[in-house]
Amino acid sequence: MTLKAYKVLIALLFSVSIYAQNPVNGVVVFSETQKPIANVQVYEKASGIVAETNTAGQFQFETAKDEMILVFFSFEYETQEITINTAEAKKLKIELQDLTTKLSEVEITARKEKVFEMQRLNDVEETAIYAGKKTEVILVDQSMANLASNNARQIFSQVAGLNIYQNDDAGLQLNVGGRGLDPNRTANFNTRQNGYDISADVLGYPESYYTPASEGIAEIQVVRGAASLQYGTQFGGLINFKMKEANPNKPIEVITRNTLGSFGLYTNFTSLSGTKDKWSYYTYFNYKKGDGFRPNSEFESKNIFAQIGYQFNDKTSLTGDITYMDYLAQQAGGLTDDMFEDDPYQSNRARNWFDVDWFLYNLKLAHEFSENTNFTFNFFGLQASRKALGFRTNRVNQVDPGGERDLIIGDFSNFGFESRLLSKYKVLDKDATFLIGTKFYKANNFQEQGPGSDGIGPDFEMATDDYPYYANQSQFDLPNLNVSVFGENIFYLNDQFSVTPGFRFEYIKTQSDGYYKNFNLDGAGNVIFEETVEEDQNFERAFVLLGLGLSYKPNTNFELYGNISQNYRSVTFSDINITNPAFTINPDITDESGFTADMGLRGTYRRFLSYDLGLFGLFYDNRIGFAQKQLPDGRIVAERGNIGDAVMYGVESLFDFNLKAIIGLNNNFKLNYFVNTSFIASEYTHSDQSGVEGNQVEFVPDVNLKTGLRGGYKNLLGSIQYTYMGSQFTDATNSVTPGISGVIGEIPSYDVLDISLSYSYKRFKLETGINNLLDNSYFTRRATGYPGPGIIPSAPRNWYATLEIKF
């Protein structure tokens, strides 16, 4: 991006005329219980939506009008319409009646649909600040995606610029990147559920082996790199899965969904929820089983989530979450490019297995000290393990000869707490909002690598006694300690313009205590050299990250925003302590740092259009990646290490057109067309590695397009979505010619077409669809380890059908 372009956008940000506006605020509650109601849309009858209530039932907006007619709309409550004098509209209290006594179930279903599927976070949500940040909120219930299989390509279709691995037909793991970030297990985002961490180790191993069932998610909140100040230092930002909550109007509600699909797919999702007096609960069980679309790729998964809440009074609540997931998957292994061309769905690995056991817990206390001051405290923890077993070699096309397998076991045990205090106050008669928070996080992880059994099935016991001289033997204790303090403050310079500075102080202590073994054998298999290398490393660092956000809102339907925030990502212990035949590790590998900048405009035009158009820049120092390296003996290997400094910049946009309003269709119809595009350029600006400087950055497709049409008549809805992704490199040397491992090489461009249908009748809902309708053969991933190494194909044409029953 040129300096001239930045100057033009900055000029736009400060040159719009300012005029006086009246603030309007209040709270929406349920008339029978006086409990706050979240996600109530507030419409002005003349212009459309102006606000939405947060989790405390609060709403606020500003207007230049003296009088307005407001409509308060929610799926579960009766719509209410009021006329207000905006000069006096402060601390309004709106009481909504139970809708179920007014309308039939068919009418309720029709009212559920919102105009636009994508929403944005308010400046303030409970004890978090999002002013000036690029935020996106996916309303999962409004999606026509294949929820039973967690189809991320469809679910995240309106989030601009995301790069998604598509190799798991059951959606057991989420692999999301973007802006040049490796999508592998969403490791470059801070992933959370209801606001608390769910990855294996936030700093030492930030990979997410657990993904919530989409059928139990209310919304997915995405905050880009500026989330580094409040949520963690990752370059990608935040992905937060906000789970569904208890039905506030019934003591018990049951929803069950059963799905059948291609390749032996069967899933069941059954939820239970309700509210009684001050108690509320929501829980679900999700079961998945299938044969997979390749040989040797069967899987079985069980997932339980439960939340129970107690409302002490209007100001204080306590909620507890527990999550358990266990899945076992056979892994068909990776392919070379020649193998993929010959048969993209073949497999020559029958003894590779992967097992995950995940237990999460969280206790949240929320307290309102006053109308302007809120406090939240989360105590969370994880007890989990992941086990990978199989025959691995850098010659992917080699047939498994039998014998011992490689076994890697990771045990993760961590806990922490995060407390936040948010207060609204005045500075020189102008509104301001202050946030201060702290996080303590302690992890005790264990990593072991060694010989597995010579059998076929999933035997995850070390076979060291049978194979004492197995080459890849190591064992490490990997404790981490992280303490952080963070803060942000919104300063409203006038009624339209706000400035939000922020900071985050981080103290990180990473330790590694263990050993690895070296063996040399002669031609007869006798040991001629044996060595045990002890390691005891202690790496401490402390630093401060800074950021600044700007927001200009001349009215409630238009905003110019911009932000810049520093980022940081520490080296993971898998980078250092895992032996992989597909690549080597540079012993001098170290942490990454840099910053992210966003600038754009977003809003709605009446009820016709929702839009978000922005520019971004992501600037890396010491970026970690792969490069081809020639060894002294002439061999060329892939090496993982700090490649150099890099920059990624581009344009991201989302336009969602409400064709129903544009064409003038009646309320029996719903019709929207969206187009989501991302155009990115990238370059390594400096590198000590030969043949890298000036190259493109990995995982950066120049074109990323998702577009689709969704709509229907009354209770019959349908959607069609097209995805196109440009080609991308997987290593810093921009290798096009693949290696024998399939790990390095280009990922060619691909396109995918998906269609979906649904029909609702009273308590029943039927969903069906076909993914990859054109049956294209493509891949999105070259795996460096499990489930490869090598090319991991994406699924061919497949169908699904879901029956939902609500009691």
Residue 21 predicted with pLDDT over 80 = no
Whether residue 51 is predicted with pLDDT greater than 60 in this model: the reply is yes
Residue 218 has which token pair? Answer: 């209310």
* Helix (H) or strand (E) segment spanning residue 663: helix 659-663
Residue 125 lies in a domain: no
Helix or strand holding residue 15 (H, E): helix 3-15
User: Is 199:208 a contact under the CB 8 Å cutoff?
Assistant: yes
Task: Indicate the helix (H) or strand (E) that contains 91.
Answer: none
Residues 281 and 307: beta-carbon distance below 8 Å: yes
Average pLDDT value for residue range 76-96 = 87
307: how many CB neighbours lie within 10 A of its CB? 22
Q: Which of 69, 102, 135 is the last residue of a domain?
A: 102
With cut-offs at 50, 70 and 90, classify the pLDDT of residue 631: low
Q: In what order do the strands lie in the sheet with 67-74?
A: 48-52, 41-44, 67-74, 77-85
For the cut 90, the answer to whether the pLDDT of residue 203 exceeds it is no
For every residue of 462-507, DSSP letters joined together read: --TTT-TT-S--EEEEEEEEEEEEEEEEEEESSSSEEEEEEEEEEE
> Which residues are CB-neighbours of 81 under 8 A, at least 6 positions away?
45, 69, 70, 71, 72
Which of 31, 33, 23, 22 has the alpha carbon at shortest distance from 93? Answer: 31
Q: Is 227 among the domain residues?
A: no
Q: In 10 A of CB 238, how many CB atoms? A: 25
Look at residue 562 and tell me whether its pLDDT is greater than 70: yes
**Strands 67-74 vs 430-452: parallel, antiparallel or unpaired:** unpaired
446 falls within a domain: yes
Q: How many domains, in total, are found in the chain?
A: 2
| Residues 234 and 569: beta-carbon distance below 8 Å | yes
- Give me the CATH number covering residue 624: 2.40.170.20
pTM: predicted TM-score of the whole model, two decimal places: 0.87
| pLDDT given at position 177 | 94
Note whether residue 380 is domain-resident: yes
CATH of the domain at 56: 2.60.40.1120
Mean pLDDT of 412-427: 96
Amino acid at the residue 382: L
Domain-ending residue, one of 57, 74, 102: 102
Q: How far is the C-alpha of 550 from the C-alpha of 562, rounded, in Å?
A: 5
Closest by Cα among 571, 686, 678, 586 to 641: 586
Alpha-carbon gap, residue 802 to 272, rounded angstroms: 18
* Beta bridge mates, 436: 421, 487
Please indicate, yes or no, if residue 56 is contained in any of the structural domains. Answer: yes
269 found inside a domain:
yes
On the CB side of 455, CA atoms within 13 Å amount to 10
Q: Is residue 189 assigned to a domain?
A: no
pLDDT, one tens digit per residue, over 429-468 is: 899 999 999 999 999 999 999 999 999 999 999 999 999 9
Of the candidates 82, 102, 122, which is a domain's last residue?
102
**505 near 233, Cβ under 8 Å?**
no
In-domain check, residue 126: no
Structural domain range at position 654? 241-806
φ and ψ at residue 141, rounded to 5 degrees? -60, -25
